[in-house]
Amino acid sequence: MAAVDRRTLLLALAAAGLAGGSGSARAERILRIATGGIAGTYYVVGSLVAAVVSAPEGARPCARGGSCGVPGLVAVVVSSHGSVANIEMIEAGTVESGFVQADTAHFARAGLPPFADRPRRRLRGLAKLYNETLHLCVRPDSGIRSVYDLPGKRIAVDEEGSGTLVDVRLVLAAYGLDERDFEAHYVKPVEALARMRDGALDGFFVVAGHPTPSVVEAVTALRAVLVPVDDPPVATLLERWPFFVADRIPADAYPGRPEVRTLGVGALWLVRDDFGEELAYGLLRALFHPSSRELLARGHPRAADIRPETALDSMTVPLHPGAARYYAEHGLLDGR
């Protein structure tokens, strides 16, 4: 079940400089951002984004060193099962916005599995935030050095409703495999890590910006290994699905681990088609404000990648009109 993190609400208020007694969360306009599990990069980056776009009543003005967010707005993160669940919540109006993998957004708009019941046509894009990276993290004694080694192993593929599971199924199919070839566990990385500690699991997949907390912990506590996903089938996957890109996990992104070649996919910030145009415009103006970018860069390496010049890459749904206006004013829609 999705839930608003009350700590994040307080952090957003504090980051915006709201003085005690000058207002309350009840009086503010609330923007919910659906993210993912609390041990994932969506949640961490979402908390940072929520802080920089918030500017509650009574906050110190931007020009005087206060928040440069949207006046009167408090953004809060919502933990969720991930991209698929976030799309359903955006479409249903139970959240105002959410982070979604570019491939999952493509499948939703096209009405392809796991959205085969109907296309989700109401999705609109604000920005591509950063590239997410496919991690295959395994115990050092697992004997897994390639996706080809998965048959017969015990592997977590994330929960139903996650973007990770969507990607894992595409990758497995490219290798001529599916979940029946191994013992699949449908759990979040934090639970997968606990099972790895107990010896009940050989590894887990996660699609997230690096470094992601669950993998940091696995590498640090269990000396886990990151497996390359760059065998010949990957070339076919890249040709078939243009939202995938060849990616890498740099050396020492995780303590003592060498560079690993793998796949990447864009992380998009999406809203619904009836989201306010002025608010969409204001969110991007706040997100890309120089002071916001400074705070984001200090908060997480992937948040440092949030830049207007790459914000339209991997956009697999139509732009929201407020977003289109922002990018047009900054000369970023030319040739698109």
Is the Cβ–Cβ distance between 100 and 176 less than 8 Å? no
Domain boundary (221, 248, 265) is at 265
| Residue 160 sits in the same domain as residue 249 | yes
Same domain, 147 and 214: yes
* Tens digits of residue pLDDT in 207-240: 988 998 899 999 999 999 999 999 999 999 999 9
The DSSP secondary structure of 105-159, one letter per residue, reads HHHHHHT-TTSTTS--TTEEEEEEEEEEEEEEEE-TTS---SGGG-TTSEEE---
Do 245 and 273 lie in one domain? The reply is: no
Residue-range definition of the domain harbouring residue 230 = 133-265
Is residue 43 included in any domain, yes or no?
yes
| 271 belongs to a structural domain | yes
Given 224, 244, 265, which residue is the final one in a domain? 265
Note whether 41 and 107 are same-domain residues: yes
Are 138 and 261 within one domain?
Answer: yes
Question: Do 235 and 137 share a structural domain?
Answer: yes
Tell me, yes or no, whether 335 lies in a domain: no
> Where among 265, 281, 311 does a domain terminate?
265
The pLDDT mean for the chain works out to 89
Contact 102, 316 (CB under 8 A): yes
Q: Flag whether 320 is in a domain.
A: yes
Distance CA 264, CA 210 (A): 11
Q: How many domains does the chain have?
A: 2
Residue 334 lies inside a defined structural domain of this protein: no
Residue 78 and residue 120 in one domain? yes
CATH number, position 162:
3.40.190.10
Residue 7 confidence (pLDDT): 45
Please write the tens of the pLDDT for every residue from 132-187.
999 999 999 999 999 999 999 999 999 988 889 989 999 999 999 999 999 999 99
Q: How far apart are the first and last CA of the chain?
A: 38
Residue (of 284, 293, 228, 218) closest to 256 by Cα position = 218
Please check whether residues 248 and 165 belong to one and the same domain: yes
Over its length of 336 residues, how does the chain's per-residue pLDDT go in tens digits?
A: 344 444 444 444 444 443 333 334 445 699 999 999 887 889 999 999 999 999 998 888 888 878 899 999 999 999 998 899 999 999 999 999 999 999 999 999 999 988 988 899 999 999 999 999 999 999 999 999 999 999 999 999 999 888 899 899 999 999 999 999 999 999 999 999 999 999 999 999 999 889 988 999 999 999 999 999 999 999 999 999 988 999 999 998 999 999 999 999 999 999 999 999 999 999 999 999 999 988 999 999 899 999 999 999 999 999 999 999 999 999 999 766
103 inside domain? yes
Q: Is 92 found in the same domain as 46?
A: yes
298 and 252, same domain (yes or no): no
Strand partners, 4: 78
Considering the domain boundaries, does residue 336 fall inside one?
no
Q: How far is it, in rounded angstroms, from Cα 236 to Cα 103? A: 16
Inter-residue contact 143 to 115 (CB < 8 Å): no
One domain for residues 312 and 248:
no
Instruction: Assess whether 43 and 9 both reside in one domain.
Output: yes
Give every CB contact of residue 6 below 8 A, 6+ residues apart in sequence: none
Paired tokens of 223: 């000396």
